[in-house]
């Protein structure tokens, strides 16, 4: 398949390298020193969970228009960059191109194809300019929830440090042929792709971990295993999860697990450095809006109190401002 990875950083680099190792025509969209290193030396994937380590010499550019129409486009940029990227994807698409946003947080398309009173609702936290639905036709989209840990440790060098699971689903919850094909493609690349009949439930399961663990990691500097070993910090995590579960239940997705069962899922990532801590250390903007702010916005719409989530969000935002990241 012809596959464009838009945002060949940590997760994008893992997917690009693994797909290239299986012989697919992979093109990478990157920028800055990372792009320069990929052009010079190839994309170096260091695979700590499998056997796909290697250097992959792949076409790379900061302009998606360099690559022409693709079969699959993976969006793996940070959430705050998505709105600017979407109109630039048009040259990659034909009627059959599938677009998979492999992103953190609540996706901007969340209420697309979801029956009920919020059908088509735009969340200001995710789409403040109100342009995203117009810039990419949602019929191209497959939802994706990423349970993979990865880091860019040097320009052009991506480490796959934990996890293989990707959950994918149609926004209308159908069992489509293209969903099966994309899952088969990713399975063949050494990942564990799971088709979901209720992708929004899977979004919430991941989001409840992100909403709590990510800002706490940014505030404490802890790796995942350190958070999970600190009972005082875990009490904050549990409180945030309980509040988030009240919000998800209101919108039709009660959690099939307790906070401690969700924490046990996080333990499986071991000593992973969570994405928001990676961004803070690299002095990059934090993804607080889609990961925490969107949950607060949904809570406000439902008149649900989320005091712990609000407090941790305020502290993380203050930390970002102190470092000039907001």
Active site positions, annotated = 206
Best CA proximity match to 129, nearest among 78, 84, 77: 84
Report the distance separating Cα 11 and Cα 163, nearest Å. 11
How far apart are the C-alpha atoms of 186 and 312, rounded to whole Å? 35
Residue 35: how many CB atoms within 10 A of its CB?
Answer: 18
Burial of 189 (C-beta count, 10 Å sphere; 0-12/13-18/19+): buried
* E strand or H helix that includes residue 211: helix 199-220
Question: What is the rounded distance in angstroms from the CA atom of residue 152 to the CA atom of residue 192?
Answer: 22
223: alpha, beta or left? (left if phi > 0; alpha if psi -120 to 50) = beta
How many angstroms separate the CA atoms of 151 and 206, rounded? Answer: 19
Q: Evaluate whether 60 touches 5 at the Cβ level (below 8 Å).
A: no
């Amino acid at each position: 398949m012809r596959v464009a990875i838009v945002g060949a950083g940590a997760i994008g680099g893992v997917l690009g390298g693994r797909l290239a190792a299986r012989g697919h025509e992979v093109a990478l969209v990157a920028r800055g020193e990372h792009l320069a290193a990929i052009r010079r030396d190839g994309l170096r994937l260091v695979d700590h969970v499998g056997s796909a380590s290697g250097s992959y010499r792949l076409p790379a550019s900061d302009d998606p228009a360099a690559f022409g129409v693709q079969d699959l486009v993976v969006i793996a940029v940070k959430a705050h960059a998505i709105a600017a990227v979407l109109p630039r994807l048009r040259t990659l698409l034909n009627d059959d191109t599938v677009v998979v946003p492999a992103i953190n947080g609540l996706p901007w398309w969340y209420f697309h194809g979801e029956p009920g009173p919020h059908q088509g609702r735009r969340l200001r936290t995710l789409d403040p300019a109100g342009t995203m639905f117009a810039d990419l036709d949602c019929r191209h989209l497959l939802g994706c929830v990423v349970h993979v840990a990865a880091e860019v440790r040097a320009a052009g060098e991506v480490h796959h440090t934990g996890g293989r699971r990707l959950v994918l689903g149609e926004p209308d919850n159908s069992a489509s042929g293209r969903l099966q094909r994309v899952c088969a493609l990713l399975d063949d690349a050494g990942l564990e792709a799971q088709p979901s009949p209720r992708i929004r439930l899977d979004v919430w399961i991941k989001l409840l971990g992100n909403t709590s663990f990510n800002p706490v990691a940014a505030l404490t500097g802890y790796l995942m295993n350190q958070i999970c070993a600190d009972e005082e910090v875990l009490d904050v995590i549990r409180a945030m999860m309980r509040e988030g579960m009240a919000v998800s239940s209101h919108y039709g997705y009660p959690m099939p697990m307790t906070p401690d069962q969700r924490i046990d899922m996080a333990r499986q990532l071991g000593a992973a450095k969570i994405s928001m801590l990676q961004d803070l250390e690299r002095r990059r903007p934090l993804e607080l809006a889609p990961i925490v702010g969107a949950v607060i916005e949904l809570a406000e719409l439902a008149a649900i109190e989320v005091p712990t989530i609000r407090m941790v969000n305020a502290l993380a935002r203050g930390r970002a401002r102190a470092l000039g990241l907001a």
